[in-house]
């Protein structure tokens, strides 16, 4: 019976080799089978994640755990830029779209002007 309880410990308590307490701060967001906890543990450490979750109202903890897992996975995949790499990509994408829009404006401005000119004849 004790073994069954131990097997059901959350990923964080499993990692810390402790019994998962009933009010465990990690359990609702990092269940035993959570594939992301390893990333979160390696990047932030259990203690820092616990502090962040504890500082938040319960209804915000799920989103915080998800964003921490996302950032941790990004940092493991790209230890230099982490999540900031996505921001750079999105900013480059926005800059490219801005250049495209400017080019399209220059390209289509003339036909629109000559169309107006044509109407006024």
The rounded distance, in Å, linking the Cα atoms of 69 and 40 is 6
From 15, 19, 17, select the one nearest 2 (Cα to Cα): 19
Q: Between residue 57 and residue 96, which ones bind its own copies under the rule CB under 8 A?
A: 60, 63-64, 67-68, 70-71, 75, 79-87, 90-91, 93-94
CB of 115 to its own copies, least distance (A): 4
Query: Which residue in 55, 95, 99, 102 binds its own copies (CB under 8 A)?
Result: 55
The rounded distance, in Å, linking the Cα atoms of 15 and 38 is 9
Q: Between residue 99 and residue 118, which ones bind its own copies under the rule CB under 8 A?
A: 101, 108, 111-112, 114-115, 118
Per DSSP, the residues of 45-62 read -HHHHHHHHHTS-HHHHH
Residues lying near its own copies in the complex (CB under 8 A): 42-45, 47-48, 52, 55-56, 60, 63-64, 67-68, 70-71, 75, 79-87, 90-91, 93-94, 97, 101, 108, 111-112, 114-115, 118-119
């Amino acid at each position: 019976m004790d073994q069954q309880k131990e097997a059901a410990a959350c990923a964080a308590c499993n990692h810390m080799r402790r019994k998962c307490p009933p009010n465990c701060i990690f359990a609702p967001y990092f269940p035993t089978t959570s594939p992301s906890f390893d990333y979160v543990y390696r990047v932030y450490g259990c203690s820092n994640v616990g502090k962040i979750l504890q500082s938040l109202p319960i209804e915000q903890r799920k989103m915080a755990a998800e964003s921490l897992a996302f950032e941790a996975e990004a940092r493991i995949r790209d230890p230099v830029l982490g999540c900031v790499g996505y921001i750079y990509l999105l900013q480059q994408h926005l800059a490219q779209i801005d250049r495209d829009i400017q080019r399209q404006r220059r390209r289509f401005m003339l036909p629109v002007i000559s169309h107006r000119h044509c109407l006024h004849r």
